[in-house]
Amino acid sequence: MTRLCEKRVVIVTGAGRGIGREYALMLAEHGAKVVVNDLGGARDGVGADRGPAQQVVEEIRAAGGEAIANGADVSDFQAAAEMVRQAVETFGRLDALVNNAGILRDRMLVNMTEAEWDAVIRVHLKGTFAPAHHAAAYWRSESKAGRTPDARLVNTSSVSGIYGNVGQTNYGAAKAGIAAFTIIAARELKRYGVTVNCIAPGALTRMTEDLQPGEITDALREARSPRWIAPIVTWLCSSDSRDVTGRVFEASGRFLAVAEAWNRGPTVDPIADPNEIGPVARRLVEEARLNTGMDGKLLDGGLED
């Protein structure tokens, strides 16, 4: 087996369980030295436990790999800086950062509390920004010192963010923001030898199992296993992916796809009088492609119930 990430140093946030754990294990299998980050909180972000991260480290070491645990809250700006510093001081450099940590506090908009909104936005959006900021600053300094990196930043969006899911205005808004963050960061960091891509994973984990409608069969569990998402992340962290940047990949046991970005649809000249807008706006809507559902397919009428 070709080891795609031989001797590359990778941080994976939220790697103590679920999808992040699969990332860490496969990256290590492919030769990466892994910083396994996990605060160890509950699904809603409450609490902390260093155990899950340390267990993954022990699995990697037992298989002959190299790994260290990190228990930072990724939304803590200084703790994120220390995490990047730990990777560099322990392994000599940093080649890739996988921003995977997240929480859920689902609620319909009219019932959502300020705290539920703030917590999800903080963990997902700031928890992507803070590690990415410090990793990017490190890679820029390497580039300016004449040691141009072959570096990777991999973020995590969701079909809830790029297509929209009822009951997740906080989570979906954060995940849509991360998709936009990815595109912009890819443009900014290209000059420093850094690619930036994003994953919208589909998997059954402790975060999502109770959100799945109907019976969870063995076939469904296999199709939604986190193991199907780890291969694309491993490849994106490798040197082989250096020509791919600014893209959002959907990944699950059902398919691997590229999610296409917003495109400008039907257009008319600007209109100064709001009384004239109605018929024109309705015609533009009729001519435009419909929104998609959570399956990425066009909806009849453009909205789900």
Active site residues per annotation: 171
The rounded distance, in Å, linking the Cα atoms of 226 and 224 is 6
- φ, ψ for residue 246, nearest 5 deg: 75, 25
Cα 14 → chain centroid: 11
Instruction: Tell me how crowded residue 259 is: count the other CB atoms within 10 A of its CB.
Output: 18
- How far is the C-alpha of 166 from the C-alpha of 260, rounded, in Å? 21
The CA distance from 250 to 18, in Å, is 17
**Number of other CB atoms surrounding residue 26 within 10 Å:** 21
CA distance 131 to 139: 12
Tokens for 22, please give them.
């699969």
User: CB-based contacts of 260: which residues, under 8 Å, 6+ apart?
Assistant: none
